[in-house]
Chains A and B, each alone.
Chain A
Amino acid sequence: MKSFKHFKIGFFLASRQIKNANLWVNILIVFIMTVTFLNLVFISGLLEGLVTGASNDSREHYSRDLIITPDENKINIKNTTRLEKEIESIPQIKNYSIRYLQASQIEADYSLFSRPNIEGNNTSGILTGVDFEKENQVTTLEDFIVEGEYVHENPQNKILIGSGLLAEYDSAIEGGSLEGVVVGDKVKITASGTPQEYTVSGILKAKLNQINNRVFIDKQQFISLTGRAPQLSDEIAITLLNPQELEETRNILSSSVKSSEAKIETWRESQGQFFEDLSTTFTILGAVIGAIGLAVASVTLFIVIFINAISRERYIGILKGIGVDSSIIKYSYVFQSIFYALIGSAIGLFLLYIFLVPYFDENPIDFPFSDGILDVTVTGVILRVLILFVSSVAAGFIPSHLIVKKNTIDSILGR
């Protein structure tokens, strides 16, 4: 009862002090708190967003919700036709794309009948046989065409080539990429020892190696070139109608997948430990940077409250002099800090969700391996508001505690 009364009086004093404080001082403190909050959320959100962006890309444009790949120590997925029928019979599955992969040599400026020349204008890439329409439905591959056009019809002798195989787009691999190849050029692809001439219909550029380092070709053309049996595929990417039904769908498919000497993984499993490690690292990095920001902000708030308390030392002394309990005075400063922290957080939340998140969703930062979005979760935001809240309580309590401890009459007389 007594504590509650002290809270109430502390709140009353805090409200009067804030109300009658200099407007610009109030604005400055709220601004500091807003910037601190954004710093806490923004830096870590951006770092986590880098990984999330890469992970999202991999899910949206490569693995989709579930991906079937050959089992450990197996080369291909067997019984693809039977597996395909099974996939088609499952109502939870929205669409799928079967891929055939083969290492290949791609050569420009060639003689059709000569063997690939390692000194010439050539490179190696993964020849990927797909049904262009299905692949586009599943991974929106067409979105990554930067030159030329997607293969919608008459796929004979047409390829889409990843930008990672072209020197013009990927200068990092010196001497390892095709030089001067543009849309409409013919290139020679050698797979399983057989060469064949194809025309570059389009160039694909993404933030995924599974697109950049591949040459996409019609499935029938692939089979024709490599002599691969249609039953032996390499990847089946599956999109679900409801992405929440990952496990259920996997369970339905598991026996067929097993009999095809393959394994079925969720999008997250297929990304492997690397993404998780990267995510953890960036989370730690974000937390460290955020903690530094928080420390700076806490010290700033501490200084602001301390200066406020020092400048009001006489009034603190007067309050003590007329018998106001020290705890009430401390509460009043803590409430002031909390007020500034909450207002700062509220403005920060407004800026975050109304401006920053939509902005970065629309205009991701162009990082080499992903499109950096601002990855903020509700839990993360609440956590950061709480962190700011706790540090504000400390920043309000410590200075007022130090002042309140001083001799009453010395405070009143300013000694």
Chain B
Amino acid sequence: MKNKKTILIAKNITKTYITGSVETKVLRGIDLEINEGEFVAITGRSGSGKSTLLYVLSLLDRPTSGEILFESCDTKTFSEKMDSYCRLHHFGFVFQDYALLPELTALENVTIPMMVQKDNWDDINDMGEKVLEQVGLKEKLKNYPSQLSGGEKQRVAVARAVVNNPKVLFADEPTANLDSKRSDEIIGLIAGLRKKGLTIVLVTHEKKYLQKTDRVIEISDGIIKKT
């Protein structure tokens, strides 16, 4: 690993959900450091807390206690707007079920983050097309999500996640709804992004993809079992 600068630090993270009188402790004290350019896999059984950890690390959710430091900044002090800014400029996110906006075309889904980020919109369509071309969807720019296959939707999701040149890409079981061939393609696509220096945090329970990563963090019952 050439670059050892730590980009994300989790300190004693806990997350507890309270439903009525039922209290569910999902994360029970996670300590974790992720280096810049590192490809990290978080794995574990269903319900182990791996997705929750990803949401907390990516500022989609707040921990019940503990600290998340992004580039040495304590995110606890971040306002909601600052969280949003971070997600737009520094983080990309690939969801398990694609999370595309159904009323937007593939190209529009990809260009939306750029529209928010950039003041000059002259070249955002070109940039969007270029990214979609890189994920093999040059012919499907004008297609709506309903007109795309599962694999194609996930490619659009990946394109959207990286279009703003984020520092960290979070992927939450991106192959869960895909067949084996499409899953391999998507993981290949994500792994390929590493060459651009992107830090990748992948949640997966499929063992065959773990070997593609630099490090595997196994979670069980809300704590790190092995790293």
- Taken together as a complex, chains A and B put the C-alpha atoms of A1 and B144 apart, in Å, by 30
A85 interfacial by beta-carbon distance below 8 Å: no
Stretch at the interface among B33-41, B83-91, B209-217: B83-91
* Chain B residue with Cβ nearest A323: B88
B-binding segment of A15-23, A54-62, A176-184, A291-299: A15-23
Q: How many A-B residue pairs have CB under 8 A?
A: 73
Please give, as numbers and ranges, the residues of chain A lying within 8 Å of B117 by CB-CB distance.
323
User: Which A residues, 1 to 29, have Cβ-Cβ distances below 8 Å to chain B?
Assistant: 1, 5, 8-9, 12, 16-17, 19-21
- Contact across chains for B60 and A409 when beta carbons are under 8 A apart: yes
Residue pair B115, A322 in contact (C-beta under 8 Å) = no
Interface residues of B in 162-179 (CB under 8 A from A): 164
Option from B60, B84, B116 in Cβ contact (under 8 Å) with A9: B116
Contacts of A407 in B (CB 8 A): 61
CB distance from B138 to the nearest CB of A (A): 22
Among A1, A20, A314, max chain B CB count under 10 A is at A20
A325: chain B residues within 8 A (beta carbon)? 81, 84, 116
B101's nearest neighbour on chain A, judged by CB, is A315
Contact B116 A315 (CB under 8 A): no
| Residues on B with beta carbons closer than 8 Å to the beta carbon of A321 | 60, 87, 93, 95, 99
State whether B116 touches A19 (Cβ < 8 A): no
Task: Look across to chain B and name the residue whose beta carbon is closest to the beta carbon of A318.
Answer: B99
Q: Mark B58-99, 1 if CB is under 8 A from A, else 0.
A: 001100000000000000000011001111110101010001
Please report which residues of chain A, range 280-323, place their CB below 8 angstroms from some CB of chain B when the two chains form the complex. 314-315, 318-323
Tell me the smallest distance from the CB of A20 to a CB of chain B, in Å. 4
Contact assessment for B89 and A323 in the assembled complex, using a CB-CB cutoff below 8 Å: yes
A311 CB to closest chain B CB (Å) equals 11
Cα of A402 to Cα of B81 in the assembled complex, Å: 16
Task: Give the most central of A5, A9, A318, A407: most B CB within 10 Å.
Answer: A318
Q: Determine the chain B residues whose CB is within 8 A of the CB of A314 once the complex forms.
A: 99
A408 to B78, CA, bound (A): 15
B116 contacts which of A20, A328, A409 (Cβ < 8 Å)? Answer: A328
Q: Which of B99-138 contact A (CB under 8 A)?
A: 99-104, 108, 112-113, 115-117, 119
Q: Which residues of B contact A20 (CB under 8 A)?
A: 102-103, 144
Q: How many residues of B contact A (CB 8 A)?
A: 31
B113 to chain A, nearest CB (A): 5
Task: Decide: A322 near B160, CB < 8 A? Known: A9-B115, A408-B61, A412-B95.
Answer: yes
Contacting residues of chain A (366-414) with chain B, CB-CB under 8 angstroms: 407-409, 412
Q: Return chain A residues, CB-CB under 8 Å to B100.
A: 318
Complexed CA–CA distance, A5 and B112 (Å): 12
The interface bits of chain A over 315-351 (1 if a CB of B lies within 8 angstroms of the residue's CB, else 0) are 1001111111110100000000000000000000000
State how many angstroms separate the Cβ of A127 from the closest Cβ of chain B.
78
Q: Which of A16, A314, A408, A412 has the most CB of B within 10 A?
A: A408
Q: Which residues of A contact B89 (CB under 8 A)?
A: 323
Find chain B residues with CB under 8 A from A12 CB: 115
Q: How far is the CA of A16 from the CA of B111 in the complex (A)?
A: 14
Query: For A328, what are the chain B residues with a Cβ–Cβ distance below 8 Å?
Result: 116
Query: B102 touching A320 by the CB < 8 A rule?
Result: no
Q: Chain A: which residue is nearest B144 at the CB level?
A: A20
Asked if A16 and B104 make an inter-chain contact with CB atoms under 8 angstroms apart, the answer reads yes
Find out whether the CB atom of A409 lies under 8 angstroms from the CB atom of B61.
Answer: yes
Q: Give chain B nearest CB distance to A125 CB in angstroms.
A: 74
A8 — which chain B residues lie within 8 A by C-beta? 115
Contact (Cβ within 8 A) A322 B113: yes
Query: Would A315 and B102 count as touching, CB distance under 8 A?
Result: yes
Of A17, A19, A322, A409, the residue contacting B112 (CB under 8 A) is A322
Q: Name the CB-closest residue of B to A407.
A: B61
Q: Once the chains are docked, how many angstroms separate the CA of A407 from the CA of B117?
A: 22
Q: Report yes or no: A324 in contact with B112, Cβ–Cβ below 8 A.
A: yes
Q: Are B116 and A324 in contact (CB-based, < 8 A)? A: yes
* Nearest Cβ on chain A to B201's Cβ, whole angstroms: 15
Alpha-carbon distance A322/B101, docked complex (angstroms): 11
A20 to B103, CA, bound (A): 6
Bound form: Cα–Cα A12–B119 in Å:
15
CB-CB under 8 A from B112, the residues of chain A are: 9, 319, 322, 324
Find A408's partner among B60, B81, B88 (CB 8 Å cutoff): B60
Min CB distance, A402 to chain B, in Å? 15
Residues in A whose Cβ lies below 8 Å from that of B161: 322
Contacts of A318 in B (CB 8 A): 95, 99-101
* Of A19, A320, A322, the contact of B103 (CB 8 Å cutoff): A19
- Report A-chain residues with C-beta under 8 Å of the C-beta of B60: 321, 408-409, 412
Name B146's closest neighbour in chain A (CB-CB).
A20
Complex CA–CA separation, A17 to B108 (angstroms): 13
A8 to B119, CA, bound (A): 11
- The residues of A that contact B144 with a CB separation of less than 8 Å are 20
B residues less than 8 Å from A324 (CB atoms): 84, 88, 112-113, 116
The docked-state distance in angstroms from the alpha carbon of A322 to that of B156 is 13
Bound state CA distance, A16 and B145, in angstroms?
14
Contact of A323 among B84, B95, B103, B108 (CB under 8 A): B84
Instruction: Please give, as numbers and ranges, the residues of chain A lying within 8 Å of B164 by CB-CB distance.
Output: 323
Instruction: For residue A327, give the distance in angstroms from its CB to the closest CB of chain B.
Output: 9
What would 12 more interface pairs be, CB under 8 Å, given A318-B100, A320-B84, A325-B81?
A1-B119, A9-B116, A16-B104, A21-B103, A314-B99, A315-B102, A322-B161, A323-B85, A326-B81, A408-B60, A408-B61, A412-B60
23 A-B pairs (CB sep. < 8 Å): A1-B119, A5-B116, A9-B116, A16-B103, A16-B108, A20-B102, A21-B103, A315-B101, A321-B93, A322-B87, A322-B88, A322-B160, A322-B161, A323-B86, A324-B84, A324-B112, A324-B116, A326-B80, A328-B116, A408-B61, A409-B60, A409-B61, A412-B99
Closest 5 CB pairs of A and B: A323-B88, A20-B103, A323-B87, A409-B61, A409-B60
